[in-house]
Amino acid sequence: MNTATTHDAHHEEHQGGLLRWVFTTNHKDIGTLYLLFALLMFIVGGAMAMIIRAELFQPGLQFVDPQFFNSMTTMHALVMIFGAVMPAFVGLANWLIPMMIGAPDMALPRMNNWSFWILPFAFTMLLSTLFMEGGGPAGGWTLYPPLVLQTGNAFPFVIFSIHLMGISSIMGAINVIVTIVNMRAPGMTLMKMPLFVWTWLITAYLLIAVMPVLAGAVTMLLTDRFFDTSFFNAAGGGDPVMFQHIFWFFGHPEVYILILPAFGIVSQIIPTFARKPLFGYSSMVYATASIAFLSFIVWAHHMFTVGMPLAGELFFMYATMLIAVPTGVKVFNWVSTMWKGAMTFETPMLFAVGFVVMFTIGGFSGLMLAIAPVDFQYHDTYFVVAHFHYVLVTGAVFAIMGATYYWLPKWTGHMYDERLGKLHFWLSAIFVNILFFPQHFLGLAGMPRRIPDYSIQFTEFNQISSIGGFAFGLTQLLFVYIVIKTIRGGARATDRVWEGAHGLEWTLPSPPPYHSFQTAPEIK
Amino acid sequence: MWVEKAKRVLTALAGAASMLGGTTASAEYGLNLHRGVTPISHEAYDLHMLIFWVCVAIGVVVFGAMFISIIRHRKSRGHQPAQFHESTTVEIIWTTIPFLILVGMAIPATKALVAMEDTRNSDLSIKVTGYQWKWGYDYIDSGVSFISSLATPRDQIENTAEKGEHYLLEVDKPLVVPVNKKVRLLITSNDVIHAWWVPQLGMKKDAIPGFVNEMWFRIDTEGTYRGQCAELCGKDHGFMPIVVVAKNEQDYNQWLAAQKAASDADAAAAGRDWSKAELMARGEKVYKANCAACHQAGGTGVPGAFPALKGSAVATGPKADHLKLVMNGRPGTAMAAFGGQLNDIEIAAVVTYERNAWGNDTGDMVQPSEVKAAR
Ligand SMILES: [Cu+2]
């Protein structure tokens, strides 16, 4: 608290108690709200995953009926993508971008407040559909018609909650762009920005480009259901595949929305603990931009089996394979940054290294999936499930956890318990592989995704996967404990926190003052 | 029992370990893609292995460098950090080499894709229709058509009976095809999107309502090949398997002739009046295969999702309305139009059954001739 005494004048502005959080326009408060909300949704979505893994522990129907199982897979995806991973990245952006570019706060603080407070309403509505007549949405998070049109009373509520999430994301993205473009400290040119800021700038543009596309697609579903339009109804002259094209035009950039900020985080952490500058800063920026560009022209690789013309299949296969080039550049850069450094392996570094290894495994399976003639075999199997969990869990989620350990001492002024942090990493890394690696085998052996019951040949690997799943789930309670413990107390953190840390956020006290930089720092 | 299970899990793990170690792949536990029984599946398998080994090679280099660095370049070993960064030459090298590797993979992939999409000059065409949750097959050239649905008994699924060898991968009437013939499938759907997939045949294609997709295969070995619907299609997506039986030409022709004879017999029987006992017996069978998944064997339905038939307004109300609903379905719901799926006898039987089972006791009978008139 003593560090904040110079800012007494501003302390009068914020209210005490709960109302402080409801009315706050402060980037740190809102960042905290986003991160806590994401943690809560991570637990909710995780609980759904536990139900899925419990049902799949043995062949036969044990715990839930197939309709409820389908609504669990659907909700698990919606909650984890829109409720956990995206808000976590927005929370990190809120906390870090002003501190990294030398600004006092985000550019549009009132909108910032609004974009967060929409989320609890959106997700209360989404989750409440589980208790409605006909159950929650059960047609998959991709909402393909005509199946999704068979949803019961939940249908309009699901669509409206997706609209709300979209509005929230777009406002968050606008705020990020305006802040980065207008509020950088003098001397901080674009090519001097930390990579986390760069990746978020590009992510924000992706969000603005594709969230309206999703909103349009789900609105067309709504009018097909209630106002007798036939956008996606073949009997009325529409085309159900058209929805898939529109959805994946949103969906593929969305994949990069979920991973680009993670690239940024890892590019901050590795140089710190290697005590060596990032090998190729500008090539990392260009690689991020090329990935973002390519993400707009590869969408149909999610739909190789819908019966596209050969020319279309070839185009989307080549374009998708091309993404491996800039992604490879990133991985090579991280490895070269580590090469001949003086590395130490505190928890954030462990998560970053774990990210590089396991994200690369997800990248390899991604490359395999890009090959259309073999994708006909992989498509809609557990091989795909394994692939996207490697990039989303050991990719995005590991990066978010690494970021939490990395910046938590800065945010709270307390060091986390290093021994527990390392334990959390090692348990997570081991169990997550027991959970997801066997799913590659299941998919190759022919197990389709989204089934509540399976033929007996798949029993063993499902059991291994479920055991890994339960253990991974339990391990995350340790993460919650460590975070709460650190917020409440612990050894004092220094301002720089990490010996090798560079960047403006480390020049501020730990914890930083309420308004980050009152006078803009000078960048040489 | 638990010991037995633990043993199987351990063997599976050992199998996985040995595959990672680069020795033999365990066929029993299915660690790898099937090589399959068609030229297409062989190509897919070869490409899969090629890309797999390319990834392994890249992985060895990248992870190798990384682990050497992790072991040697530690602060705790007194390693001093170098400060090198930014090298355009290096960046160009590690952009170009992966690009060339990708070109090398794109060439065989393109060849395979072109072959897979070539459905010309087929010997036999079969129309495949996806229904929630079963498959319909029409042999276009010979007029034979039938519905193929899950044959696994309900009590195995509910864990009250021992599961059979082909649990969930067995059907009442398999798709029968001749070996060494180019079979072209015309795939469509009657309700939501499904996907027709038998791993051993090397291809999967979506079944989309209002559109017809094509795929082909030429099976080189006689045998039975099993697969499943691969696109989420609602409640019983996991319970609509596909079984393909490949027979030699002679056996195939025999089978086809028998099918034709059976459907001719049905057509003849549709002309006469059926007794109530006959209709009820046939109706129960039809109900179990087509209706029980949603409306339940006892006609109780699932509250909030699928309406009950027991004592319902439809099943105890006017006969003509009931018949119309079964034939035309209810658009926008999972209730399909059975007029196109079932023949006159089957519809007559199932409506009679629904109006008299579970205490509905309306005493009504529907004759096949009435169904014919209602079409
Ligand atoms: Cu299906």
| Tens digit of each residue's pLDDT (9 = 90 or more) over B348-368 | 889 999 888 888 888 888 888
Chain A contact present for B94, CB below 8 A: yes
The reply to whether omega before B331 is within 30° of 0 (cis) is no
Of B109, B209, B305, Cβ closest to residue A234: B209
* Alpha-carbon torsion (A392, A396, A398, A400), positive or negative: negative
**CB distance A460–B43 less than 8 Å?**
no
pLDDT at B25 over 50: no
From chain A, pick out residues whose CB is under 8 angstroms from the CB of B17: none
Measured CA distances, A438 to A46, A48, A443 (Å): 19, 20, 9
Of A283, A357, A441, Cβ closest to residue B91: A283
CA of A454 to the centre of ligand 1 (A): 14
Q: Tell me the two tokens of residue B319.
A: 């006969």
CB count in 10 Å sphere of residue A256? 22
From chain A, pick out residues whose CB is under 8 angstroms from the CB of B87: 279-280
Q: What is the mean pLDDT of chain A?
A: 92
Chain A contact present for B14, CB below 8 A: no
Contact residues, B window 275-304, toward A, CB-based 8 Å cutoff: 302, 304
Q: What is the mean pLDDT of chain B?
A: 85
Average pLDDT over residues B212-229: 94
**CB distance A310–B214 less than 8 Å?**
no
Per-residue model confidence (pLDDT) at position B359: 83
pLDDT at A210 over 50: yes
Lowest mean pLDDT among A16-25, A186-195, A429-438, B24-33: B24-33
CA distance A406 to A398: 12
pLDDT tens-digit readout, A216-254? 999 999 999 999 999 999 888 999 999 999 999 999 999
Average pLDDT over residues B243-264: 91
From chain B, pick out residues whose CB is under 8 angstroms from the CB of A463: 5, 9
CA distance A501 to B331: 62
Q: Strand pairing partners for B196?
A: B205, B229
Residue bearing tokens 């998944």: B293
Report residue B82's pLDDT band, with 50, 70 and 90 as the boundaries.
confident
pLDDT tens-digit readout, A337-376? 999 888 999 999 999 999 999 999 999 999 999 999 999 9
**pTM for the model:** 0.89
For A470: left if phi > 0, alpha if psi spans -120 to 50, otherwise beta; the answer is alpha
**CB distance A66–B236 less than 8 Å?**
yes
Task: Assess whether A466 carries a catalytic annotation.
Answer: no
Task: Assess whether A27 carries a catalytic annotation.
Answer: no
| Architecture of the domain spanning A20-507 | Up-down Bundle (1.20)
Task: Assess whether A302 carries a catalytic annotation.
Answer: yes
CA distance B168 to A458: 12
Report residue B292's pLDDT band, with 50, 70 and 90 as the boundaries.
confident
Task: Assess whether A65 carries a catalytic annotation.
Answer: no
Q: How many CA atoms lie within 13 A of A174 on its CB side?
A: 13
Of A61, A376, A464, Cβ closest to residue B157: A61
CA distance A51 to A428: 19
pLDDT at B266 over 50: yes
Amino acid at B34: H
Amino acid at B268: A
CA distance A444 to A384: 10
Task: Assess whether A245 carries a catalytic annotation.
Answer: no
Average pLDDT over residues B210-216: 93
From chain B, pick out residues whose CB is under 8 angstroms from the CB of A225: 332
Around ion ligand 1, residues with a beta carbon closer than 5 Å are B 194, 229, 233, 240
From chain A, pick out residues whose CB is under 8 angstroms from the CB of B109: 317, 371-374
Catalytic residue among A27, A28, A163, A301: A301
Task: Assess whether A495 carries a catalytic annotation.
Answer: no
Report residue A6's pLDDT band, with 50, 70 and 90 as the boundaries.
very low
Q: Strand pairing partners for B207?
A: B194
Lowest mean pLDDT among A43-57, A204-218, B254-268: B254-268
Report residue B332's pLDDT band, with 50, 70 and 90 as the boundaries.
low
Residues ≥6 apart with Cβ < 8 Å to A14:
A20, A24, A26, A29, A514
Per-residue model confidence (pLDDT) at position A7: 44
CA-based nearest residue to B138, from B90, B96, B182, B187: B187
CA-based nearest residue to B228, from B256, B200, B260: B200
Distance of CA A171 to the CA centre of its chain: 17
Instruction: Quickly list DSSP for B93-157.
Output: HHHHHHHHHHHHHHHHHHHHHHHHT---S-SEEEEEEEETTEEEEEETTT--EEEE-B-S-HHHH
Q: Tell me which of 1.10.3720.10, 3.20.20.80, 1.20.1050.10, 1.10.760.10 is the CATH number of domain B271-374.
A: 1.10.760.10
Average pLDDT over residues B71-92: 84
CA of B154 to the centre of ligand 1 (A): 18
Report residue B301's pLDDT band, with 50, 70 and 90 as the boundaries.
confident
Per-residue model confidence (pLDDT) at position B99: 93
Between A179 and B6, residue with greater pLDDT: A179
CA distance B367 to B269: 11
* Chain B interface disruption, residue of A55, A451, A463, A498, most B CBs within 10 A: A451
**CB distance B163–A368 less than 8 Å?**
no
CA-based nearest residue to B339, from B303, B285, B375: B375
Residue bearing tokens 């919650």: A480
Q: Tell me which of 3.90.1150.10, 2.40.50.140, 3.30.70.260, 1.10.287.90 is the CATH number of domain B33-116.
A: 1.10.287.90
pLDDT tens-digit readout, A446-461? 999 999 999 999 999 9
Report residue B233's pLDDT band, with 50, 70 and 90 as the boundaries.
very high
pLDDT tens-digit readout, B147-162? 898 988 888 998 888 8
CA-based nearest residue to B198, from B157, B245, B234, B251: B245
Per-residue model confidence (pLDDT) at position A135: 87
CA of B172 to the centre of ligand 1 (A): 17
CA distance B275 to B304: 36
Between B289 and A466, residue with greater pLDDT: A466
Of B55, B117, B197, Cβ closest to residue A310: B117
| Top-tier CATH class for B124-266 | mainly beta
Per-residue model confidence (pLDDT) at position B7: 52
CA distance B362 to B13: 59
Spans of all domains in chain B: 33-116, 124-266, 271-374
Residues ≥6 apart with Cβ < 8 Å to B235:
A65, A66, A67, A70, A138, B132, B133, B293, B294, B305, B334
Task: Assess whether A301 carries a catalytic annotation.
Answer: yes
Average pLDDT over residues A500-522: 89
Between A16 and A449, residue with greater pLDDT: A449
Per-residue model confidence (pLDDT) at position B248: 94
Q: Identify the closest residue of chain B to A275 by CA–CA distance.
A: B81
Residues ≥6 apart with Cβ < 8 Å to B60:
none
CA distance A263 to A338: 15
Per-residue model confidence (pLDDT) at position B79: 79
Backbone phi and psi for residue B246, each to the nearest 5 degrees, phi listed first? -100, 120
Per-residue model confidence (pLDDT) at position A363: 94
Same fold yes or no, B33-116 and B124-266:
no
pLDDT tens-digit readout, A295-333? 999 999 999 999 999 999 999 999 999 999 999 999 999
Per-residue model confidence (pLDDT) at position A11: 47
For A492: left if phi > 0, alpha if psi spans -120 to 50, otherwise beta; the answer is beta
pLDDT at A263 over 70: yes
Task: Assess whether A163 carries a catalytic annotation.
Answer: no
Of B51, B59, B169, Cβ closest to residue A371: B51
CA distance B153 to B172: 11
Residue bearing tokens 């309403």: A121
User: In terms of residues, how long is chain B?
Assistant: 375
